[in-house]
């Protein structure tokens, strides 16, 4: 199988965006709505939004299954309070669940958490549990910066985050460390904030001993790990100066990278520097970079082409496409085995 571990519902029917706009517009007057019951999206609308977009491209590019989560830039945890985020997360997660029910062979869910700046992450646990237990989701997205580009939360190594980690370990689910929209004009959302966060998350783990407390905790750092593979020597040197173990022992039992890197030299570097066992196939298609590369004539986010062209053995490609995903996402593996796959 070819499993894409990084998909977002970026093509949801417009009614979702309209509902969210009303919610944001009425933050100061919540009595004016909107109520959750006012959002009406039919199965036919969901089917059309998927068949004409994600599923069409999956078939064209040769992917079989996508781990599907709410649109990252729409999470916007900095907007409103916890109740705002809780209502919004529940709506978005339910839509992803409905998509997975309508297309069980092609999509399986990962949860958005109802994070809010300054709020105890333990407040997210009811939504996390619902998504795992009731919806069959196989992972979560964890935003290390709910403030939206101002970085007011403690680092990921802080005990502040431990309630989430305890549940991750209990349910054996990984977290994709994924920020949302930047409201800080110094950081473009997808061109800077996302990649900054990927690099920052890795460094927060490097400087800590988080995985001594949680030896089975698993993080997926998206977008190829931000600057990490490109500056692997820097990180090895910093770990050495900090008297940490070698990175392969200190972090690579717990941290994994996806292939949302949109050119061949980037994928070549990623797969040369990072052990293949730590690389998971992903495209984030219909996401941040949707255009066609004039140098190749192909879509930037058609990442399977880069994996096929990389200097990899058949066994290594199998690990990237399927084997690593089934190991890092045990609930995905169990769901596939239940389907006879």
For the annotated catalytic residues, the residue numbers are 284
CA 84 to chain centre: 21
With b meaning 16 or more CB within 10 Å and e meaning fewer, what string describes 120-131?
Answer: ebebbbebbebb
What is residue 6's three-state secondary structure?
strand
Instruction: Say if CB 143 and CB 191 are below 8 A apart.
Output: no
Give me the residue label for tokens 């800077």: 192
Give the N- to C-terminal CA distance of the chain in Å, as an integer: 9
Q: How many residues does the chain have?
A: 341
Structure tokens at 206: 């490097």
d(CA 75, CA 57): 24
* Beta strands 3-9; 65-70: pairing state: parallel
CB neighbour class for 178 (10 Å; exposed up to 12, middle 13-18, buried from 19): buried
């Amino acid at each position: 199988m070819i499993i894409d571990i990084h998909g977002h519902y970026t093509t949801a029917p417009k009614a979702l965006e309209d509902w969210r706009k009303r919610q944001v517009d009425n933050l100061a007057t919540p009595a004016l709505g909107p109520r959750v019951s006012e959002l009406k999206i039919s199965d036919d609308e969901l089917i059309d939004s998927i068949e004409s977009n994600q599923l069409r491209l999956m078939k064209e590019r040769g992917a079989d299954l996508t781990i599907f989560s709410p649109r990252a830039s729409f999470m916007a945890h900095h907007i409103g309070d916890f109740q705002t985020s809780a209502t919004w997360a529940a709506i978005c997660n339910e839509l992803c669940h409905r998509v997975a029910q309508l297309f069980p062979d092609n999509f399986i869910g990962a949860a958005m958490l109802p994070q809010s700046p300054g709020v105890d992450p333990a407040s997210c646990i009811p939504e996390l549990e619902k998504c795992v237990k009731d919806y069959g989701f196989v992972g979560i997205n964890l935003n290390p910066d709910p403030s939206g580009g101002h970085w007011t939360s403690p680092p990921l190594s802080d005990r502040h985050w431990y309630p989430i980690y305890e549940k991750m370990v209990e349910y054996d689910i990984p977290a994709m460390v994924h920020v949302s929209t930047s409201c800080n004009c110094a950081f473009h959302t997808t061109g800077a904030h996302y990649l900054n966060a990927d690099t920052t998350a890795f460094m927060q783990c490097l400087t800590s001993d988080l995985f001594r407390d949680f030896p089975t905790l698993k993080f997926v750092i998206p977008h190829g790990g931000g600057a990490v593979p490109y500056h692997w020597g820097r990180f090895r040197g910093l770990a050495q100066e900090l008297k940490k173990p070698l990175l392969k022992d200190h972090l690579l039992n717990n941290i994994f990278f996806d292939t949302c890197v949109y050119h061949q030299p980037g994928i070549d570097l990623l797969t040369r520097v990072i052990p293949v066992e730590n690389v998971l196939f992903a495209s984030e298609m219909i996401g941040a970079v949707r255009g066609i590369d004039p140098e190749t004539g192909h879509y930037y986010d058609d990442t399977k082409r880069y994996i096929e062209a990389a200097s990899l053995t058949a066994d290594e490609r199998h690990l990237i496409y399927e084997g690593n995903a089934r190991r890092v996402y045990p609930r995905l593996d169990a769901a596939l085995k239940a389907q006879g796959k």
